[in-house]
Amino acid sequence: MRVLIIGSGGREHALAWKINQSSLKPEVFIAPGNSGTATEGTNVPISEGNIAALMAFIKEKGIDFVIPGPELPLVQGIADACEEAGVPCFGPKRYAAGLEASKSFSKTMMLETGVPTAPFKVFTNYEKAAKYVDSCARPLVVKADGLAAGKGVVVAKTADEAKAALKAMLVDKMFGSAGSTVVVEDVLVGEEASFLAFCDGETVIPLPSAQDHKAVFDGDTGPNTGGMGAYSPAPVAPEHMYDELVALSMRPILKELKKRGQPFTGILYAGLMMTEKGPQVLEYNVRFGDPECQPLLMRLEGDLLQVMLAAAQHRLHEVTLAISPKTALCVVIAAKGYPGEFPKGMPISGLEAAEAAVPGKVKVFHAGARTENGQVVSAGGRILGVTALGADLAEAQKNAYAAAAAIRMENMHFRRDIGSKGLTNCWACSGKGE
Ligand code: AMP
Ligand code: GLY
């Protein structure tokens, strides 16, 4: 079986690594891939948003199964194109990918289907939005409607900050057409959790909870990034809540999409805020999170490719997920300066030493990295995802940092507190969630 994975991040390396363990013995291609995916299969120099070139490759190579990693190819209709070509694809078609592509679309669907989420309003006109901000007299969140590479959300403390964000999006067109519609919503207070599930349009199989760390510096300070580290499970969303979380945050949306003739297949990712009043949905993604994917797949013991095929072929009811009871934790090694300007081309060493630091427990996933004359060098902001298993969160954290300490690279930055919130600041562990 020939499988094409689309993307070039740590998530795609983890997908390729796990899929290679399948009993189906796939031949794996990755477009465009990185230095890590090159060790798992064949990298193909086609960018993730070039649907025409991807489809030409799929047909020419006789690809049997397509796995888009990031949202862009899904939002641009790779699943629709695959359906037309008769090739199974693990991911939603363009309409359902709107859950991630448009915040107004997803918020409106949440409202219509009773999914708990922050109260909101949608605006296209700056004056009207500014008037609403003034009338609210409370902190608000301003969100660009479309895809803005994680930079389109401003949690504003004051009315002036909210209006500045609105002006940047609606008047100055900072995000182009992605910001010509905005969502303005109430601030939610609590701890965040990522909750992902396999979906086939009917059956839902949740993965264990995870927690991302979006801010670039320790203590959740500094600008937001794509994610500086993640671990699973997240004590803030304990296992006894999974059924409730599926019922609350997933079933109503999946039912509505099916009713509209647009059943959702692939991974539905609910970004949750665990508030005092219960879980609320911040956003949906229509794919694996990066870096959440890395610890989740470290814990997955079954055959990922078989599960993904079952989802794409609407027979997930045949599947049970085998998940390790261990905790997995991923520390992202980034370039100093990311998410702003950062240097590239730094040679990286210590990759084998990192995996040997805690034998059998560590996997270093490559992200913004490529091989140049046999040497792995940095090629992006998030460069590696050092991922480790442990009996519990404390041990997974210890193992991941022991491994990260072996990596050598100039201008390297990583957070030292991935997982610490889960160890110290967890209402669920303190008994309130039981
Ligand atoms: P989103 O892309 O909607 O998930 O927003 C990105 C990040 O902004 C989230 O992970 C939260 O940290 C923060 N955020 C979004 N919406 C809210 C909200 N209503 N209240 C507080 N923080 C929020
Ligand atoms: N880690 C968050 C995301 O993938 O969107």
What is the DSSP secondary-structure string of 390-417?
Answer: ESSHHHHHHHHHHHHTT-B-TTEE--S-
> Are both 196 and 176 inside the same structural domain?
no
Q: Judge if the beta carbon of residue 9 lies within 6 A of ligand 2.
A: no
> Are both 161 and 195 inside the same structural domain?
no
**pLDDT at residue 151 in the model:** 79
CB 17 within 8 A of CB 39: no
Q: Which two tokens stand for residue 63?
A: 């690809």
pTM score, whole prediction? 0.96
Q: Is residue 204 in some structural domain?
A: yes
Backbone angles phi, psi at 134, to 5 degrees: -60, -40
Q: How far is the CA of 33 from the centre of ligand 1 (A)?
A: 29
Q: Is the pLDDT of residue 193 over 60?
A: yes
**pLDDT at residue 434 in the model:** 36
Domain limit, last residue, from 43, 71, 94:
94
Q: How far is the CA of 101 from the centre of ligand 2 (A)?
A: 14
Q: Judge if the beta carbon of residue 212 lies within 6 A of ligand 1.
A: no
Concatenate the DSSP letters of all residues of 275-332 into one string: ETTEEEEEEEESS--TTTHHHHHHHB-S-HHHHHHHHHTT-GGG----B-SSEEEEEE
CA distance 182 to 122: 6
CA distance 21 to 247: 32
Q: Judge if the beta carbon of residue 155 lies within 6 A of ligand 1.
A: yes
Q: Judge if the beta carbon of residue 10 lies within 6 A of ligand 2.
A: no
- The CATH number that applies at residue 202 is 3.30.470.20
Reported in sequence order, the residue ranges of 53-190 that DSSP labels E, i.e. its strands, are: 65-68, 120-123, 140-144, 153-156, 182-186
Q: Is residue 107 in some structural domain?
A: no
Q: Is residue 116 in some structural domain?
A: no
Give pLDDT tens digits for 110-127. 999 999 999 999 999 999
Q: Judge if the beta carbon of residue 290 lies within 6 A of ligand 2.
A: yes
- The CATH number that applies at residue 139 is 3.30.1490.20
Give pLDDT tens digits for 392-413. 999 999 999 999 999 999 999 9
Q: How many domains are contained in the chain? A: 3
pLDDT tier for residue 432 given thresholds of 50, 70 and 90: very low
CB 267 within 8 A of CB 199: yes
> Does an H or E element contain 14, and which?
helix 10-19
**pLDDT at residue 425 in the model:** 58
Omega of the bond leading into 291 within 30 degrees of 0 (cis): yes
- The CATH number that applies at residue 37 is 3.40.50.20
Type of residue at 395: E
CB 237 within 8 A of CB 248: no
Q: Is residue 150 in some structural domain?
A: yes
Q: Which two tokens stand for residue 214?
A: 């979006």
> Are both 317 and 207 inside the same structural domain?
yes
Give pLDDT tens digits for 141-163. 999 999 987 778 999 999 999 99
Q: Is the pLDDT of residue 431 over 60?
A: no
- Where in the sequence is the domain holding 404, given as residue range(s)? 191-427
Give pLDDT tens digits for 73-95. 999 999 999 999 999 999 999 99
**pLDDT at residue 148 in the model:** 86
Q: How far is the CA of 25 from the centre of ligand 2 (A)?
A: 29
> Are both 171 and 272 inside the same structural domain?
no
Q: Is the pLDDT of residue 137 over 80?
A: no
Q: Is residue 333 in some structural domain?
A: yes
Q: Which two tokens stand for residue 126?
A: 């700056």
